[in-house]
Every structure is written in C-alpha cells, then in structure tokens.
Chain A
Amino acid sequence: MTATRTWATSERIFRQLRRDPRTVAMLLVVPVALMGLLAWMLPAHDFNQYGPLLLGLFPLLIMFLITSVTTLRERTSGTLERLLTMPMARADVVFGYAIAFGCTAIIQALLTAGLSFGPFGLDVRGSVWLVVLIAVIDALLGTALGLFVSAFATTEFQAVQFLPLALLPQLILCGIIVPRDQLPTVLRWISDLLPLSYAIDATKQVITDSVTSAFWRNILIVAGFAAAALIGGAATLRRRTP
C-alpha cells in the first residue's frame, strides 16, 4: 500500500462524484430536509430526544447505499480487475474509498449538524462536536459495510436489497424503538453484537451529557466494527476469479 496510490484513488472517486451533481445534491440536501421535517413535526423536547439519533443514522444509510453501488459498479465494469492486475494493493482500493466517502460524510455531517443545531433549534446537553464525531464514524461504518456486502451482489438491484438485510435489523434492535435493557434476553445478546447499538448508546450519552469512559468505549467499538468490515471488504477483492 502506498499513499500516492491510495490518494490517487480517493481523488478519482471525488472527480466521479463531481461529475454527478444530482447525487451530490441528494447527499447534502436530503438529510437536511429530513431533519427540518422532524424539527417542524416534533415538539422541542422530542426533537432533542430523537434528532441526534437520526443525525447519526442518515450518514450510515446513505454511505452504505452509495458505497455498495459504486464498488459494485467498479467490480462489474472490469475496472477493479484492471486495477488488481496493476501494482495496486487491495488496501489502496479500500482506503481510497474510505477516505473519499469519509470526507464526503464529514461535509454531510457538518452541514446537517450545523443547520440542526442552528436554525432548527436542536439542543443536546453534551458537546455538539461529539454528535458530529458519531455521525462521521457511522458514515465510515456504512462505507465499510457497503464495501463488504457489494461482494455478495451481482447487480445494482441486488446491492440495494442488502440495505434492509444488513441495516434494518440493526435499526430495530439498536435501542431506538425499545431501550436495549428492556429487550428479551436473546434479542439483547443479538443487539450486543451489532455495531449500531453502540453508536446509539454513545449518542444517548451525549444527549444526557453523561460522557464518560463508557462513551469512548462505545465509539471505539463502532470504529472497531468499521475497521473489521474494511478488512473484510479488502478480503473480498479477489485478484483471481472464476
């Protein structure tokens, strides 16, 4: 792996994004619009309760979708095979994507958080920056998971279908609908194995300003899941195929 090749890959992905202004607009406008909708619909107290949780979910969902579709495109168009016949490490590809989409996620999170905490009047007891940090780590998790599942899809249509399979169970069990300590024991164990649970736990700790070492442990766990999925994603990039 070399910095030149990784960075060239990130830069190339940025160029591709720039050629697709509609996608960029949706990346930036949709989360903001949805937060605006929530702010309008919910009383201030409820908005402060749910707003920060959703602020972390949008990047996860959107980055998952974008990464699974773009890497699948790279696999099916033959460009991935071409890159892997060149002196390119698999980590160059994976980190190239992670950096490009991670930066996109930072911009998205800053914009959404800025408008939510500003004009929309969102308020948390803890630091706003920690909410942004969670959003960025969620985005990296989404990127990593998207990269990983794209190996199991053969069409873009299938890739999109992985969203309900890979993310909805996490959404149901992460503690937004039913607090995790009230889940039936078996479901509680399952939720302990899912990264989103830790991201939601961390967000709740920022909302109530109970940021302790447990918060940082949760952040590290989510980051660990993202790193594991990135390594898993790199392992799915095969130089030899049937």
Chain B
Amino acid sequence: MADAPAVRVSRLRVVRREREVLRDLSLTVAQGLVTGLIGPSGCGKTTLIRAIVGTQIVAGGEVLVLDRSAGTAQLRDEVAYMTQTPSVYRDLTVSENLGYFATILGARTRDVQRVIAEVDLAENAQRVVGTLSGGEQSRVSLAAALLGSPRLLLLDEPTVGLDPVLRAQLWELFARLADGGVTLLVSSHVMDEAARCHHVLLMRDGALLASGSPTELLARTGQPDLESAFLFLIESVQS
C-alpha cells in the first residue's frame, strides 16, 4: 500500500461562473515526495488544491485523498492546507494565532515553538501579525499548516515574496518533511522552483500538460532548462 498514490484525481471538472476552470483533469500525487504544481497564474492550480482539500464544489469527477473521498471528516487532521493569501488573524500575535490553531488541531503546545522556528519567525513570535511584512505573514500561515502531524501538506505558493536564503531553507524543510514520509504538493508559478521538486505537474488552462521528474521532463523535451521545456510542451500541444 506504501506505493499507492496519496492523491488520485480522475476526470475532475470544476466550473466557476460558467467558466470551466478544470477540464477533465486526471493526475496522481505520489506518497512521500515533494510534488510541484507548476503553471501560470489562473491556470487552475488553486482550484485543484481546493478540490483536494475538499473545499471546492466540483462539477464532476472524483478526488481520492489517502484512499478516502476528498473533504471527509477523517481527513481533517491528516490534510493541512496553506492558502495563497495568508489566512491568519491579523490582530493577534504570531504565537496567539498558532496557539489557537494548535488547540483546534489538538496539537501539543510545544508544537507552536517548533513551527515558529521552522519558518524562522522566532524573533517575531510576540508581534501582531498585521504589523509584519507580507512575506512574514505568509510564513505565519505556512507555520499553521505545519502544526500537528499532517500526512499531506497542500501549499499554495508558499515561497512568493521571500528572500532567496529563506526560500532555500523552506525547500530544505519540504525535502526533510518528505523524507519523514509526508506528502507535499507545492504550487508555484516560478519555473526554477520546479527543479527543487521530486516530481512536477505542469498545468495550463485547466489541463495537465505534463507530469514527470524534472530530469525526465528535460530528457523528453530535449531542452536545457524547465522554462524552455514548458514552452516546448505548449508548442507541441498547439501544433
């Protein structure tokens, strides 16, 4: 069973405001790996992640998460979700926010210290979130997703607006979590982040363009880097 995918999406359709955001999308996310969900803004990454969390109303298809239907009550402490805009209380301090979410998750209090250290916010722990910079606020939101012991982490653009050193640290953290058996699905619109993932899902216009490890994608397209590989794939679909 260890090889069964953590997420299996089959023929997923999502329609929002009469526009088909996801069109017959099928894909799998392997367990214990960092999978990058890469594609331009508006291609349906967030909608797909929301469908996997179970907060998105879908028009058709099936989403199975850890062998259960997405959004089932049993999944709520196994799946953690970080939204694109920081979903934390701006009028509470960093540790008050995380303390509250830890209580809701039934996590230990010392877990709060752990996640604060992991996102490098120890010096700002007692500051009110609204007074932090945008990047710091999104790290608080990321820290909340790291609380407890989720088996699947869904992170929607967690590294936007961060300085390169911190970005590298977070990718190291993601790799470490994956080594410990956690499955991560990390979205990004930045191509160079794809290279840091074990596996990459390339999305465009609500459909899956390609799926494979970065080296596979380069080999398949014969391109020197992922940016050109992505372009090559778009052109081959259009012709």
- Where the two chains meet, the residues of A that have a C-beta atom closer than 8 Å to any C-beta of B are 4-5, 8-9, 11-12, 15-16, 19-20, 77-79, 81-88, 239-242
Q: How far is the CA of A33 from the CA of B76 in the complex (A)?
A: 47
Q: B41-57 toward A: CB 8 Å interface, digit per residue (1/0)? A: 00000000000011111
* B106 adjacent to A87 (CB under 8 Å): yes
Does B105 lie at the interface of the complex (its beta carbon under 8 Å from any beta carbon of A)? yes
Shortest beta-carbon distance from B149 to chain A in Å: 13
How many chain B residues touch the partner (CB < 8 A)? 32
A88 — nearest CB in chain B belongs to which residue? B104
Query: With A16-B91, A79-B89, A82-B87 known to touch, is A240 a contact of B105 (CB < 8 Å)?
Result: no
Shortest beta-carbon distance from B150 to chain A in Å: 10
Tell me the number of A-to-B contacts counted with CB atoms below 8 Å.
77
Which segment of B95-103, B109-117, B205-213, B224-232 sits at the interface? Answer: B95-103
Does B144 lie at the interface of the complex (its beta carbon under 8 Å from any beta carbon of A)? yes
Q: How far is the CA of A12 from the CA of B101 in the complex (A)?
A: 10
Query: With A19-B91, A81-B83 known to touch, is A241 a contact of B100 (CB < 8 Å)?
Result: no
* B103 adjacent to A85 (CB under 8 Å): no
Does B4 lie at the interface of the complex (its beta carbon under 8 Å from any beta carbon of A)? no
Shortest beta-carbon distance from B185 to chain A in Å: 14
CB-CB under 8 A from A83, the residues of chain B are 104
* B91 adjacent to A240 (CB under 8 Å): no
Does B62 lie at the interface of the complex (its beta carbon under 8 Å from any beta carbon of A)? no
Closest 3 CB pairs between A and B?
A78-B87, A8-B103, A87-B76
Q: 8 Å CB contacts to A: which residues of B20-68? A: 53-57
From B83, B103, B104, contact of A78 by CB (8 A): B83
Shortest beta-carbon distance from B64 to chain A in Å: 16
Query: With A8-B104, A240-B55, A242-B16 known to touch, is A82 a contact of B83 (CB < 8 Å)?
Result: yes
Q: 8 Å CB contacts to A: which residues of B133-168? A: 144
* A79 adjacent to B76 (CB under 8 Å): no
A82 — nearest CB in chain B belongs to which residue? B87
Shortest beta-carbon distance from B153 to chain A in Å: 12
Q: How far is the CA of A224 from the CA of B57 in the complex (A)?
A: 33
- Where the two chains meet, the residues of B that have a C-beta atom closer than 8 Å to any C-beta of A are 16-17, 53-57, 71, 73, 76-77, 79-81, 83, 85-92, 96, 100-101, 103-106, 128, 144
A-B contact pairs, 28 of them (CB 8 A): A8-B103, A9-B104, A12-B92, A12-B96, A15-B92, A15-B96, A16-B92, A19-B91, A78-B83, A78-B85, A79-B87, A81-B55, A81-B83, A82-B81, A83-B104, A85-B54, A85-B55, A85-B76, A85-B81, A86-B101, A87-B77, A87-B104, A239-B55, A239-B71, A240-B54, A241-B55, A241-B57, A242-B17
CB-CB under 8 A from A12, the residues of chain B are 89, 92, 96, 100
A2 — nearest CB in chain B belongs to which residue? B106
CB-CB under 8 A from A5, the residues of chain B are 103-104
B103 — nearest CB in chain A belongs to which residue? A8
Shortest beta-carbon distance from B212 to chain A in Å: 29
CB-CB under 8 A from B56, the residues of chain A are 240-242
Interface centre among B79, B80, B83, B85 (most CB of A within 10 A): B83
Q: How far is the CA of A78 from the CA of B82 in the complex (A)?
A: 10
Shortest beta-carbon distance from B7 to chain A in Å: 15
Q: How far is the CA of A83 from the CA of B97 in the complex (A)?
A: 12
CB-CB under 8 A from A15, the residues of chain B are 92, 96
B130 — nearest CB in chain A belongs to which residue? A19
* B103 adjacent to A82 (CB under 8 Å): no
CB-CB under 8 A from B90, the residues of chain A are 77
CB-CB under 8 A from A82, the residues of chain B are 81, 83, 87, 101, 144
* A239 adjacent to B87 (CB under 8 Å): no
Q: How far is the CA of A216 from the CA of B76 in the complex (A)?
A: 43
CB-CB under 8 A from B77, the residues of chain A are 86-87
Shortest beta-carbon distance from A66 to chain B in Å: 14
Interface centre among A12, A19, A85, A87 (most CB of B within 10 A): A85
B102 — nearest CB in chain A belongs to which residue? A8
From A8, A77, A240, contact of B100 by CB (8 A): A8
Shortest beta-carbon distance from A130 to chain B in Å: 36
B86 — nearest CB in chain A belongs to which residue? A78
